[in-house]
Amino acid sequence: MKKQENKLWNKARYSLEKHYKYICSNPNSKNSKLKAGFINIGIGGIIADVIGIKDIGNHFEPKIEIIAIEVKENLPNYRERHMDQVRRASVFAHKVFLAAPREFKPEEVELAVKERVGLFELNPEKRKLKLIVPSPPFEPSESKIIELMRRLDFFKCTVCNCYWNKNLITIDGYRSTHVFSNNIKPLRFNKFICDKCSSKLFKLHSKDLSNKFAEEWKVKRINKKTEKIDLRTKKLAEKKDISKINDRLSKEDEKIKNMRRYFKELFNKRLKSLNKQLNKVRRGLKSI
């Protein structure tokens, strides 16, 4: 029975990918199970047979849609408990379906609507899922979506909200653990910042740095100007010193001049008295 179901899982997966454009495997994963397909996988004990993911966002915001399918083998009746089991996946899936390899009876269709699950009729030969009852939309919590996506090897960027294949992240992809300690029990959050966001953040940061640098540069320029002014003032001060010396020199000059005058006067006086004496002598000689 299990083997039969297993085969059906792969057929449902094929159709989800081919006809409904969901991503149902991660070929880049190192995990062989994920590589083969999102089959028999889930979180917290809730396991879906097939999981598909699709981006249904717009140009402004990415939005992931998760579909979960429970594939049943051909049973005489699909009952309430089967539907219950299907709906459990709405914890992490936006759409939940029961798929079966036969036509559904009208009462089963009615029950599915009542039980709020979608129905797919699976044609094993054509490997095609035929939509019988659409799933009502579910809004699983963001934390559960992130948890499941991590299970499928996709990391959600904390900044841009895009999902990134863990296996294709370059070295620039930044994974950080935020720890909040409240003395009793530290809280840990595993966060991821994608390559694009981290480089943009870095650019923003470096812009800030360059602004800082520009300011520093302005300060440097002002400093240089002040240095120049300082130098000029110093030179002016030196010039003042020279003028002081000049003052002193001219004073010394004056002194020398005065001394010269003094000696001249002194010489003249001596010369006068010598002339007087000479005249006296001359007069004495005449009288003789």
Binding site for Zn ion (CB under 5 A): 157, 159-160, 194, 197
Q: Give every CB contact of residue 166 below 8 A, 6+ residues apart in sequence.
A: 29, 150, 153, 154, 155
CB of 31 vs Zn ion, minimal distance in Å: 24
Contact between 29 and 35 under an 8 Å Cβ cutoff? The reply is: yes
* Pick 152 or 157: Cβ nearer Zn ion: 157
Dihedral sign for Cα atoms in the order 213, 214, 215, 221? positive
Cβ neighbourhood burial of 109 (10 Å; 0-12, 13-18, 19+)? middle
CB of 198 vs Zn ion, minimal distance in Å: 8
CB of 226 vs Zn ion, minimal distance in Å: 46
CB of 59 vs Zn ion, minimal distance in Å: 15
Q: Give the DSSP letter string of 253-267.
A: HHHHHHHHHHHHHHH
Q: Give every CB contact of residue 55 below 8 A, 6+ residues apart in sequence.
A: 62, 63, 64, 65
* Pick 62 or 140: Cβ nearer Zn ion: 62
